[in-house]
Amino acid sequence: MEMRLVILTCLPSALARMLRAAGLGLALAATAACTPQSALLMNVLPAGTVPVLLSHLQGVDDSNRRRIAELESRGDWQGLAQLAEENLARDRNNADWWLVAGYAYSQLGQHPRAAQCFGEMVRLAPDDMLGWNLLAQSHRSAGEAARAVQTLNSAVLVRKDVPATWFLLGESYSDLGRFNPAAAAYREALQLNGEFAQAWFGLGRAYARLGRADEFEKAAQALQRLNPALAKELAAMRPAAR
């Protein structure tokens, strides 16, 4: 199965390429607009996507790919984590296995360990924005929004052209109740992708918290065109006109 990059330049992991192609953009699924801290970024992928991704790891041999797919299909996250750890013991410089490990630990709710794994991805491939985004979301899942902000601010120094990174930065600032920088981050995401419905939702939500009614209405109108269901949810937050 050919998995070519849609937005970013070619990077070593086939899984990472397909994840990015599926959005980087992972945050483009409808549920991402109000993603709880307990959800990992990959959880907003369409149903059935992750098993396909996990079976096409470029740095993993065919037998291990089949084993990964089998464990994932059974929801055997402990088994998947163990398989990843066994392979990492042999080769700690394989970013694919760090990704598998991080995914498994996130499913187990072991978010600090997941963050360690995704941190290794960042160390091995610092220009791969997938690793940065997953690391930041793991921090959010662990209730460490400030660390997520720090991670994402470092990420945008590496690459400024990935909408999902700016979106996650907006979400992380929102977690902290810092709605002015959140709005700025959402605007950056929308400069890159004006069809990013969840970023419009986040921006509207930030304007609602800031009491900026005129800007809220503009975001609400844009969202109505893109995603009426989300627009209805946003409308319930409408601030009083001044």
Q: Contact at 8 Å (CB) between 28 and 198?
A: yes
Residues found in the chain? 242
What pLDDT score does 53 carry? 54
Q: Contact at 8 Å (CB) between 140 and 171?
A: yes
pLDDT tens, position by position, 165-175:
999 999 999 99
pLDDT tens, position by position, 63-85:
888 888 888 888 899 999 999 99
pLDDT tens, position by position, 186-239:
999 999 999 999 999 999 999 999 999 999 999 999 999 999 999 999 999 999
CA distance 196 to 203: 11
Mean model confidence pLDDT for the chain: 80
Query: What is the mean predicted confidence (pLDDT) over 129-143?
Result: 91
Cα–Cα distances in angstroms (integers) from residue 210 to residues 59, 180, 216, in the given order: 47, 8, 9
Q: Contact at 8 Å (CB) between 131 and 138?
A: no
| Residue 141 vs residue 35, higher pLDDT | 141
**pTM, two decimal places:** 0.78
pLDDT tens, position by position, 24-33:
333 333 223 3
Note the helical H segments in 56-110.
Answer: 62-74, 77-90, 95-107
- Residue whose entry in the numeric block shows the structure tokens 């990420």: 155
Residue 71 region by backbone torsions, left for phi larger than 0, else alpha for psi between -120 and 50, else beta: alpha
Q: Could you give all domains of the chain from N- to C-terminal order, each with its CATH number?
A: 14-145 (1.25.40.10)
CA distance 181 to 176: 10
CA distance 240 to 242: 6
Q: Contact at 8 Å (CB) between 189 and 218?
A: no
CA distance 181 to 94: 36
Q: Is the dihedral of CA 35, 141, 21, 58 positive or negative?
A: negative
Cα–Cα distances in angstroms (integers) from residue 12 to residues 2, 60, 97, in the given order: 14, 12, 13
